[in-house]
Amino acid sequence: MADSKIVVFQDKQIRRAWMNEQWYFSIADVVEFLTDSVDVKQYIKRMRQRDPLLNRNWGTICTPVAMIAADGRRRSVQAADVKGLFRIIQSIPSPKAEPFKQWLAQVGYERVQEIENPELAQERMKAVYEAKGYPKDWIDKRLRGIAIRQNLTDEWKERGIREERDFAILTAEIARATFGVTPSEHRAIKGLTKKGQNLRDHMTDLELIFTMLGERVTTEISQQEKPDTFAESKRVARRGGNVAGVARKETERELGHSVVSGQNFLDKNPDGLIEDTIGLPPLGSDKE
């Protein structure tokens, strides 16, 4: 399964996905950036006609990869790894080519560094959030939440969970038991209408804390009981969320207001997206 992300180079969004231990980039996005073409498909067609060797090897250079389209849906697009893109760039006369090639090489190198030293990825994530204007104490909770989420998804994988849809169902069970609303209802309360907007990037401190509690307790229960069916994992997820839900209700009684808040960070981050910038890696997987 490809982990789809967006990376930004010179104000241009380039879609990419981490698959088979390497990055794959949208060929159309790269060609559009390098050529400013209004009809990327026609440009690629003519480029292949001009370069017979590239055309003959197109099937080995290109790989269909699911990425997020402009309408927010995942669609299969033609993609290439860094080596493949270097070959394509050779056929594109553009003054933008050389800085783009240097950027591609840097992006690949940083990913290798992160695999060898995961702390680098966390530091770069922190830098991304700081650049977007998030408070430092919020960032600390958000990063801790990402680590707890990763532990949970690793545990689910140990229990045989593989499909993205199943991860989403289990996550929704925890969230509903924790907050009394589904993730989609929670998004609506915050006014998040775009599909790419990450709910957790718009949570308050308390919402992050109760999210972490529900997911951490779910991980602990699952590790102890080792459910071997999806239905059992679903019940465990509900139980873990219930623990956080009880704590949330007690907190609301003490505070006199709901923990579920309409507050978000849209003013600081209008698109609701945390995107890569040059020199910064993608955020860890943290699907809602």
The pTM is what?
A: 0.59
Cα 98 to Cα 88, 122, 188, 280: the distances in Å are 13, 29, 44, 20
Q: What residue segments make up the domains of the chain, in order of their start?
A: 3-116, 119-255
Report the distance separating Cα 31 and Cα 50, nearest Å.
15
Burial class (CB in 10 A: 0-12, 13-18, 19+), 158: exposed
More reliable by pLDDT, 126 or 266 = 126
Is the confidence at residue 79, as pLDDT, over 90? yes
Tokens 């009684």 belong to residue: 253
Q: What mean pLDDT do residues 174-186 have?
A: 96
pLDDT tens-digit map of 17-60:
878 777 889 999 999 988 888 899 999 999 999 999 999 999 99
Fold adopted by 3-116: Mlu1-box Binding Protein; DNA-binding Domain (3.10.260)
pLDDT tier, 232 (very low <50, low <70, confident <90, very high otherwise): very high
User: How do beta strands 3-9 and 12-19 pair?
Assistant: antiparallel
pLDDT tier, 108 (very low <50, low <70, confident <90, very high otherwise): low
Tokens 């209802």 belong to residue: 185
